[in-house]
Structure 1
């Protein structure tokens, strides 16, 4: 079993901070919001994205999957009463020359072995797609 520890504390009425090891993260806990920090909903989405990106880093060597880069975009729907997330959708964009079937295999592995994404998928609707990054160079030649 792995164990994790994070501590968080209020700095002032405009923000808080979370710590894990030597890392420090400013958190938006200001009632008016702040542009320079993640609010709790954004932290939730960022944790899913981080899980997917870490999963990709873990499985690409095992699959012999070649890529130049990856990005993940997430979108959530939240209800007000009671306040909770209803669904999260995502798009994974991979800069690769791998085949579509290999891209699908990467997606299956990310979904199957993601600690955070599996936990979230048990609590709400988690759906998404993976696609190849379109080549700007190829678009310029068209």
Structure 2
């Protein structure tokens, strides 16, 4: 089993900071929001995107899959009462010359082996597509 530790602290009424290893990220904890930091819902979606990109990085050498780049677009829908994320839709855009079948194989690997995506999929409707960059 792997274990993870993150430390977060309040800086002031407008934000906080989370740190791990040698990295830090500013958190939008202001009730009015702020433009220069991720709020908790955006961090949640960013974690999912990072999981998918990391899954692609893991799968491409095993599948001998050639790509030039990847982009992940996410859309989350949050309800107010009780506050929770209801659904997440995503689009994986891969810059590649691989066949459609191989593209779908990459997508299956990303969905099957993603720690964050598997955790989220058990709690929230998570739907998405993979497509070739035009």
Q: Name the TM-score, length of structure 2 as normaliser.
A: 0.99
Secondary structure in structure 2 of the residue aligned to 1:57? helix
The whole-number CA distance in structure 1 between the counterparts of 2:120 and 2:19 is 22
**2:41 aligned with 1:41, yes or no?**
yes
| Larger-gyration structure (1/2) | 1
Partner of 1:140: none
1:114-125 alignment runs, 5 A limit: 114-125=114-125
What RMSD in Å do the two structures reach over aligned CA positions? 0.4
Partner of 2:14: 14
The whole-number CA distance in structure 1 between the counterparts of 2:31 and 2:126 is 28
Provide, for residues 10-53 of structure 1, a one-character-per-residue CA deviation record: whole Å limited to 9, x for no partner.
00011000001110000000111111100000000000000000
Q: Name the TM-score, length of structure 1 as normaliser.
A: 0.94
Q: CA deviation at 1:128?
A: 0.2
The whole-number CA distance in structure 2 between the counterparts of 1:35 and 1:96 is 33
Q: CA deviation at 1:96?
A: 0.2
The whole-number CA distance in structure 2 between the counterparts of 1:52 and 1:29 is 26
Secondary structure in structure 2 of the residue aligned to 1:81? coil
**When the two structures are aligned, how many residues end up with a matched partner?**
134
Partner of 1:137: none
Partner of 1:95: 95
The whole-number CA distance in structure 1 between the counterparts of 2:81 and 2:30 is 21
Give unmatched runs, 5+ long, in structure 1.
135-142
Partner of 1:139: none
The whole-number CA distance in structure 2 between the counterparts of 1:51 and 1:27 is 19
Give unmatched runs, 5+ long, in structure 2.
none
Structure 1 residue ranges (4+ consecutive) displaced by more than 3 angstroms after TM superposition: none
Secondary structure in structure 2 of the residue aligned to 1:123? coil
